[in-house]
Amino acid sequence: MGIPTSKRLRKPREFQEVRNEGKRILCGPFIFQCGQLGSEEGQSRRLGVVASRRVGNAVKRNLGKRTFRELFRLHESALPLGCDIVIVLRSSFDRHSFSDLESRYLRACATVTKEALANRPADK
């Protein structure tokens, strides 16, 4: 099942744009980085997960990527439209339960959504 390719960040340039220009939220076992797209880019939400070798071996890195792709799939509507997010895993992510990671992820989504609503121009 998973998430379709159209909802993933694929190219290094896309990751770099979010990491350079996006909002960064420290969430303990991961870093949540969100970049807002302009309306010309489309209205989909996209995800990218970064798991370096410092996180652990391949099994642990893949577990982290699968976990956050599932969180994104379950709670995609918690993010504003046109939002790209990059999750940077830290080595301690596997010491936290799925429900703890989920609550931290949702708190970060709520923060991003609140800021996106505050920065939106007033409709008439």
CATH number at residue 58: 3.30.230.10
Quote the radius of gyration of the chain (alpha carbons, Å).
14
Q: State pTM to two decimals.
A: 0.87
Residue 109 burial (C-beta neighbours within 10 Å; 0-12, 13-18, 19+): buried
Domain count, the chain: 1
Q: Which has the closest alpha carbon to 3: 35, 40, 43, 48?
A: 48
**105, part of any domain:** yes
Does some domain include residue 30?
A: yes
122 inside domain: no
Does pLDDT of 7 surpass 70? yes
pLDDT at 80: 87
Q: State which residues form the domain around 60.
A: 5-117
Q: pLDDT band at 24, cuts 50/70/90?
A: very high
| Residue 69 located in a structural domain | yes
Residue 89 scores a pLDDT above 60:
yes
Q: Is the pLDDT reported for residue 62 higher than 90?
A: yes
